Amino acid sequence: MADAQQSNENQSKPSSIIRWFKRLLLGGLLAIVILVSSLFGVRYWVNQWAETPIANFSAAEIIVARGDSAHRVINRLKNDGKITHSEPFKALFILQPQLAQLKAGHYAIPANVSPTQLLEILGSGIEKQFSVTFIEGSTFSQWLTILSDHPQIQFRQQRVKDYIKSFNPSSVDEEKYKFARVEGHFFPDTYHFTAKTPAIAILKRANVMLEQKLTTLWQERDRTVPLTTKHDALVLASIIEKETGIASERPEIASAFVNRINRRMRLQTDPTVIYGMADVYDGDITYAHMRDKNAYNTYVIKGLPPTPIAMVSEGAIHAALNPATTPYIYFVASGDGGHVFSTNLKDHHRATKRYLAKLKQQ
């Protein structure tokens, strides 16, 4: 009887172990199911969150510095109050590690972006574009002021000086005319760039643009025009640029100057007097200024000045190389924004008197 009882106990032990193992296995499977379900739930929630606009996110400019990790950038955004929580971003980096690959740069982020959109912009390398505008008729000195005052342009004075020295020297006194060798050699336009672009990078682009346009227009020039070099064309174009702000007048202005050159007459144009005065000009031209013997004063010198006196537009270069065919020798301001052209000195004097009378009435 005892043997039978011992036998039953021995048989019950494996059954107990099997039941315990089954319970353990079932519990493990249940835990795995719960874990997997949780993971899928978390993945689903993160993915949904990643495509939803960030609450209260306003348009902003975000800088990713060199060496910044995605985690560092997100922590900085949280500290700056641009986002409320950083943890979901870090979960997103695990689920979509490609979104953690940010590129250094200065980025413009629109309002109401989703986390995915935010990270895609920061990883795109497509930085915010800034712009600077130079107008025709401006001088290199004015360009330097614009460049140095722009908050997103890296202006290093010594580098700019070295760049200026890379141009061929001019024939004038460069102590008096500090920028003579570069005057007129840059194309006035609006230039777009990324944050902290060096000033000389913009100047180089403007110089290349000017040279390209000048070369093309030189090849298309009226070969009867008495200009022997591209440099001469640039000089005359700069005078035309300063003489009129009306594009339609440029060919007539150019015609008067070309007629004077052909007749070996002095150009006698006030903008060259002003440039020749350098830093002395105070807004008024006197007879003494017009008699001043300097390299630019076309009331004194014969022919063209030694260098351009301003930056020129494509239209001014085209006019210098393709002037209108007219008998004009003289012109004076009309008082209405344009000019009155004359073929003889008598008519010119009359037009001048009318202009002066209008000035007195204003």
- 111 and 200 in a single domain? The answer is no
**295 inside domain:** yes
Cα atoms in the 13 Å half-sphere on the side-chain side of 242: 19
Instruction: Give residue 266's pLDDT.
Output: 96
Helices (H), the chain: 2-50, 70-79, 87-95, 115-122, 140-149, 157-165, 199-219, 230-243, 250-262, 270-276, 287-291, 314-321, 345-361
**pLDDT (0 to 100) of residue 18:** 63
- Of 175, 210, 245, the residue at which a domain comes to its end is 210
Q: String of b and e for 36-53 (b: at least 16 CB within 10 Å)?
A: eeeeeeeeeebeebbeee
Domain final residue pick, 152, 181, 210: 210
Claim to verify: residue 357 and residue 319 sit in the same structural domain: yes
Q: CB under 8 Å to 220, separation ≥6 — which residues? A: 321, 322
Cα–Cα dist 251/241, whole Å: 11
Do 136 and 115 reside in the same domain of the chain? no
pLDDT at 46: 83
Same domain, 279 and 229: yes
Residue 32 lies in a domain: no
**Is 33 inside a domain boundary?**
no
Residue 355 sits in the same domain as residue 229:
yes
pLDDT at 12: 55
Does the CA dihedral 350-351-354-355 come out positive or negative?
negative
Q: Does residue 349 sit in the same domain as residue 232?
A: yes
What are the tokens at 35? Answer: 């874990």
Same domain, 233 and 294: yes
Classify residue 215: in a domain, yes or no. no
Task: Select from 98, 122, 146 the last residue of a domain.
Answer: 122
Asked whether residue 8 is domain-assigned, the answer is no
**Residue 248 sits in the same domain as residue 353:** yes
Q: Check residue 153 and report its DSSP letter.
A: E
339 in any annotated domain: yes
User: Is residue 10 a part of any domain in this protein?
Assistant: no
Same domain assignment for residues 137 and 103: no
Report the pLDDT value the prediction gives residue 215, as an integer from 0 to 100.
97
Q: What is the pLDDT of residue 290?
A: 87
Q: Are residues 230 and 110 in the same domain?
A: no
Q: Are residues 315 and 239 in the same domain?
A: yes
Q: How many domains does the chain have?
A: 3
Q: The domain spanning residue 94 has which CATH number?
A: 3.30.1490
Q: What is the mean pLDDT of each run of 10 residues along the chain (362 residues)?
A: 50 61 54 48 79 91 95 95 92 93 96 95 96 97 97 97 96 94 98 96 98 97 96 98 93 97 95 90 81 93 96 98 96 88 92 84 72
Query: Which pLDDT does position 289 carry in this prediction?
Result: 86
Residues 328 and 341 sit within 8 Å (Cβ to Cβ):
yes
DSSP SS3 for 240: helix
What pTM did the predictor assign? 0.83
Report the pLDDT value the prediction gives residue 279, as an integer from 0 to 100.
78
Determine, yes or no, domain membership for 300: yes
Provide the domain limits for residue 324: 224-361
